[in-house]
A = this chain, B = another copy of it.
Amino acid sequence: MSELSYFPGSTNREDYAKKIAAVFSEYLEKNGLRLTSPRRKILDCLLKADRHLNQEEIYQSLRPQGIGRATVFRTIKMLEDSNLLSRIAGISGPPRFEVHSERPHHDHLVCISCGSIQEIQWPELERIQEKACGKIGFEIKWHRHEIFGFCKKCAGSSKQA
């Protein structure tokens, strides 16, 4: 399970976290909602993680602080609505989540043998996408691109799922 997570050169993790929190807060305000302590903690948990968490993992790590499952789900939904969080499907099991926004867009390479998720950036591919969609009048909001196969390690060995 090697899952990468990185932050653009000029922005360190804390600045990044602040920025995201600000965007979230703004979103909430605009909708007459509040940036409460549980919501903040859930966002922090996602930001601190160096891999893609699923709902259960967030819940387990925050339960000691008295945060319930429902709140985790509700907050995840808000973060998705505010376009700060994206859902990654994987091959099976519950979806995992990833804070995006400021990070350069990347796609996912999911290994169907060991389950690892690598990230990959494709500026070239993004360009082609936009050009083609522009031509047929489709206005892109976001996309999800998951490639399934065998990672380097697993491709070398026996390839069992």
Contact = CB atoms under 8 A, between A and B. Distances in A.
A133 B146 contact: no
A136 B152 contact: yes
Interface of A: 89, 109, 111-112, 118, 120, 122, 124-125, 128-129, 132-133, 136-152, 155
A152 B135 CA distance: 10
Contact of A149 (B111, B122, B125, B140): B140
A150 B138 contact: yes
Nearest to A151: B138
A126 B84 CA distance: 28
A159 to B, nearest CB: 9
Give the number of times this chain occurs in the complex, counting copies.
2
B144 A149 contact: no
28 contacts: A89-B144, A112-B141, A118-B138, A120-B132, A120-B133, A122-B128, A122-B129, A125-B125, A125-B128, A129-B147, A136-B152, A138-B147, A138-B152, A138-B155, A139-B149, A139-B155, A140-B147, A140-B148, A141-B148, A141-B149, A141-B150, A142-B149, A143-B145, A143-B146, A143-B147, A144-B148, A145-B145, A145-B146
A125 B132 CA distance: 11
Given A89-B89, A144-B144, A144-B145, A139 B150 contact: yes
